[in-house]
Structures are given as C-alpha cells and as structure tokens.
Amino acid sequence: MISVNDVTMRYGAKVLFEDVTTTFTPGRRYGLTGPNGAGKSTFMKILSGELEPQKGTVVRPRKVGVLSQDQFAFDAFRVIDTAIMGNRPLWAALEERDRIYAKPEMTDEDGMRLGELEGTIGDEDGYTAESDAAVLLDGLDIPEPLHERRMGELQGGQKVRVLLAQALFGKPQALLLDEPTNYLDLDSIHWLQDFLTSYDGTMIAISHDRHFLNSVTTHTADIDYQTIITYTGGYDDMVMAKTQIRSTLESQIAQREKKIAQLNEFIARFAAGTRSSQVTSRRKEVERLQTNELARSNIQRPYIRFDQARPSGKHVLEFKHLTKVYGDLKVIDGFTANILRGEKICLMGRNGAGKTTLLKCLLANYAGFPPQRQGPVVGDPGFADRKFSLDSGSVFWGHEAQVGYFPQDVGATIFAGIEHGLSVAEWLHQWNPSAHMEDIRGILGQMLFSGEEGAKPTEALSGGEQARLAFCKLILTKPNILILDEPTNHLDLEAINALNIALQRYEGTVLLVTHDHDLIDEVATRLWVFHDGGIEDFQGPYGEWKGKHN
C-alpha cells in the first residue's frame, strides 16, 4: 500500500496539486492521468521518494519497482545484471559477497558476514535470479544473445525494455511505471499488459496509451483542478464519470446563482422599505448560498482536421519488387503493392523490422521525381535521404500526389532547411507565405498555441509542442497523402484522441506507423504486417487480421 497525506507541490504561482490525501491499495492497478504539464511525473517522483513534497508525507512499502527514465545510467553493466538490480537488497548482497570473495584472505568476520549474505540471497530468490531475469527479458523482446552484452551496446528502445524488466524484477510490492509503453512494439505491449494484469501488488502507471490504460488499470487517479481524484475503472470510465460529475456540479452552481439573483433582486427592492426582517433573512440566505468559483480544469483539447487542397488520382502509389539491403540484412525483400485513394494503411511489426525504412525509401523515390511529375513535398525537406534509395524495384506515384510527412524525429523536421530564431508563427507561415496571419493564428490556436505562444521561439519548444506544430503544418498545407511515422510520441491522451478522430474523418490516403492499439483498430482499413523477414499485405482492418491469426 502507498499512502499519501496532505501532499502539496507548486512551482512559483502554479499549483500542481494541493493538500492531496489518498491511498493506493494492493491488488489495484492505477492509471495516473492528466494533460502534459499537470504534474504526473512530479507526483510519481514523490511516490518513489526521488522527490520530497513541499508539504505532507508519503508511506510506501519496502520493495518498490520504478521504471528508470535515465537510459545511460547503466551503460557499463551487463544487461542481465541491470535487470537484477531491480531487486536492490539482492543486488547489494551479491555485490558485497563478490567483494568478500575477491579478498586475498578472509577473516572470521568475513565468514560470518558471508553466511548472513547467503541468507539474504536465498530469501530474495538470488539463486534463480539470472534465470528469472532472463524470462522477463525474453518476454520484452531482449533475446538471450543480448543478455551478456553491456547496456551501452544496446539501442534506445532495447534499453527501455531492459529498464522495464528492472522495474518488474524481484516481485516488488508496488510498481511505479512512467510511460512503460514508450518505444515498445505492439507484441511487447501485449506481453506487458498480460504481465501486469496478473500482478497482485500496487501498480501506478502514467501512460498516453488509452488502450493500455483501459486494458490494465482497475482505477484511475486523475490530476486536475489542483488535486487528485480517484475513479473506479479505466481511462474511458474515468472520462465518463468525470464528465457526469462536472456537469452535475455546474448545474448545481447554476441553480444556486439563479437563486442568489432572485434573493438579491428582493433585497434591492425592499431594502429601504418596511420589510427589513425579510431583507435581513434573505441576506443571510445569500451568504449561505455564496460559493467559490468552480475550479477550472487544466485539460486542453486540440482540434485537428486534415483537409486536401485537391484530391489525388484514384491510383495513389504503385511499387513493384522493392528490395532494400543493409550488408547481409535484407530489410525489404521484393515487396509489391498498389495503393488506392482513401486507403488508410497501418504498418505493424517489431521495432527494427523495416517499417520506417520502407516509408523513407518511398519518400526518397518521390522526392527524386522530375519536378513536372511530382506534387509539392509537404514535409521535411531533408527526407529524401540517399541512404534510403532502393537496391531494386520500381515506384510510381500517382497523379496530383501531394505528400505530408510526419517523421519520428519531429524536431529535426522543424529545424531542417530553415533559419534559426523563427517564432512559432513565422515557422508555420513559411510553408504557405500567401496565407493570412489570421489563418495562421487560427490554426495555432486549434493546436493550443494561443495568444502570445505564437511568438515563442521554435528552439524553446518541448517535444509535445514540436509535435503539435508539425500537425499545424499538415493542417495548413492540406496534402492528399499523409505519411505518419509514430505520430503519437510526445502527445498526451487528449491530443492522441483528437488525432484518432481526425484520421478517421480524413478523406485522403494515410500510411501510418504506430504501436497505439486504438489508432490501429479504429483508423486502419489495411495492414502491412512486418514479420519473419517478409511483409504481409492484409486487405482489411485490424479486428479481422487479429481474428484470422488467433
């Protein structure tokens, strides 16, 4: 159990949460929700003990598993050891035992201490630690050949999965997971969901993956209105309950304000008359009914709508026998497909399977067309990277094809090929110099760059703001083909939901790489599934594909 008593945290005039008292109970799995900047990560650090609250106390169990956010802290250690470090008492005992055995000569005291350490190691299941850690790592797609490698040799996504194994290792009484699905592919996310639903301790997770929250959590602790309110159920249950509660409160306040207005009208009419006792009574009633203003929610919802300047031809893209090889690794092996206008294709598969490579190969070919045969490229001017040229195969883009591109590294897109020192509004305006500034400000407002935020320098943008600005560009330029490579990175739940709706309503063509279950399930009309060195072209939605493969 984790108990929080009268905890307050503020930065300057901004109050994140105040006088919060709540309990996180064993056997329950909590989603910690709230928009970017609400204080979710701050609250998680308070729960773990990494950060002290400005006021209040936290009581936590002895064993708490925490997902580390520092990918470089363990670079010098073996992968298997990094996972075992999740059980701190065990790792401390193992290290001390090794130091004693490394001595040239041991004293009687060393022998007695070794006995104590062996007892601790036995109590903490230390004699099966490596095999237990290996099972966790395998489940998170870290194969056995990598277990003996140093963490510094792994890619970023692999490091995250090892750190997740570290948090899960040693049967902690509480799990604190900050964005556990980041950099995980869909198979790893499903494995994690199954693991967590069988976990019987206290789990608290921050996630911007709606399907993950709905699948795993039994309760939702929502940071809003400068406090934390716990609701029963997953994310969707919380949204419904919160909306109903808010609506009821607003209705009650409206009725009170109407009653107060009626009483004040009576007081104004008869204050100077002979009905002083009734006036006094009504003044007391007004004082009783006076309420503080209903706290405002800090949730902001962007509005995303993708339009087309003009539609493409019926046949958007056709390619035949595409092959791409890196050394001895054949990433794409003779893939052939034809894309029709309006199709929404999701590229699925393990990280590193070749999804981004395929998109960049298509884009490099598109940018290489003679000007009279290609539409304007509405995206990163540097995406035609020559290292993504095809080794063999042919690509034919259709009539009036206009591509809008959202890359994984969205920050590189914002700074590619432009002058530095541009404001947000100036950066957006360059993509359509003929657009009126009122239109520019309107689009920025849709994506929550309101008022003076349009004058903010692009260099000062956070990851989430960079993503929202990239969407502003796609809204402004109105391409008829959207190529989106993991667009939900850095977005909060409200923005992801807005993107989901926008893609469903978009009448153009979509190529989408994502590990977000709901986006795949609700947007895709066709799937390219990368597995076993090949690509399955499934003509249908995710539900049908899943039914076929179960």
Same domain, 280 and 183: no
Query: Residue 351 class from Cβ within 10 Å (0-12 exposed, 13-18 middle, 19+ buried)?
Result: buried
Average predicted confidence (pLDDT) for the chain? 86
Its pTM stands at 0.75
Q: Which of 109-123, 399-413, 513-527 has the lowest mean pLDDT?
A: 399-413
Measuring CA to CA, which residue among 204, 152, 144, 145 is closest to residue 180? 204
Name the token pair of 11: 């930065």
Answer whether residue 319 is part of any domain: yes
pLDDT exceeds cutoff 90 at 252: no
Looking at residue 384, its pLDDT comes to 47
Q: What does 332-377 look like in DSSP terms, one character per residue?
A: EEEEEEEEETT-EEEEEESTTSSHHHHHHHHHHHHHTS-GGGS--E
Enclosing domain of residue 264:
239-289
Answer whether residue 297 is part of any domain: no
Answer whether residue 148 is part of any domain: yes
> What are the phi and psi torsion angles at 509 (to 5°)?
-105, 140
Sheet architecture: strand order including 219-224: 64-66, 174-178, 202-206, 29-33, 219-224, 227-232
pLDDT digits (tens, 9 = 90+) for 280-319: 887 777 777 665 555 556 667 899 999 999 999 999 999 9
Measuring CA to CA, which residue among 215, 200, 230 is closest to residue 1? 200
Decide which of 233, 249, 273 is a domain's last residue.
233
Same domain, 470 and 390: yes
Same domain, 88 and 220: yes
How many helices (H) does the chain have, and how many strands (E)? 18, 19
Same domain, 461 and 348: yes
> What are the phi and psi torsion angles at 171 (to 5°)?
50, 60
Radius of gyration, CA atoms only, the chain: 28
Mean pLDDT of 128-137: 93
Name the token pair of 264: 């004040």
Same domain, 335 and 272: no
Answer whether residue 309 is part of any domain: no
Name the token pair of 91: 């790792």
pLDDT exceeds cutoff 80 at 386: no
Identify the three-state secondary structure at position 528.
strand
Q: Is the Cβ–Cβ distance between 517 and 528 less than 8 Å?
A: no
Answer whether residue 300 is part of any domain: no
Decide which of 215, 233, 251 is a domain's last residue.
233
> What are the phi and psi torsion angles at 32 (to 5°)?
-105, 110
Same domain, 229 and 253: no
Same domain, 403 and 509: yes
d(C-alpha 465, C-alpha 427), whole Å: 13
Which residues are paired to 5 by β-bridges? Answer: 57
Looking at residue 531, its pLDDT comes to 83
Same domain, 325 and 467: yes
Looking at residue 371, its pLDDT comes to 36
Same domain, 143 and 120: yes
pLDDT digits (tens, 9 = 90+) for 457-487: 888 888 888 999 999 999 999 999 999 999 9
> What are the phi and psi torsion angles at 466 (to 5°)?
-60, -45
Q: Is the Cβ–Cβ distance between 441 and 424 less than 8 Å?
A: no
Confidence of residue 47 (pLDDT cuts 50, 70, 90): very high
Confidence of residue 68 (pLDDT cuts 50, 70, 90): confident
Residue 50 belongs to domain with CATH number: 3.40.50.300
Q: Is the Cβ–Cβ distance between 86 and 167 less than 8 Å?
A: yes
Answer whether residue 536 is part of any domain: yes
Same domain, 134 and 281: no
Report for 23-32, 287-296, 374-383, 452-461: range of highest mean pLDDT: 23-32
What type of residue sits at position 232?
Answer: T
d(C-alpha 328, C-alpha 30), whole Å: 46
- Residue 95 burial (CB count, 10 A): 12
pLDDT digits (tens, 9 = 90+) for 71-99: 788 999 999 999 999 998 899 999 999 99
Identify the three-state secondary structure at position 463.
helix
Looking at residue 372, its pLDDT comes to 33
Same domain, 114 and 161: yes
Same domain, 253 and 336: no
d(C-alpha 20, C-alpha 287), whole Å: 28
Answer whether residue 306 is part of any domain: no
Answer whether residue 305 is part of any domain: no
Report for 66-75, 372-381, 405-414, 466-475: range of highest mean pLDDT: 466-475
Name the token pair of 422: 């541009």
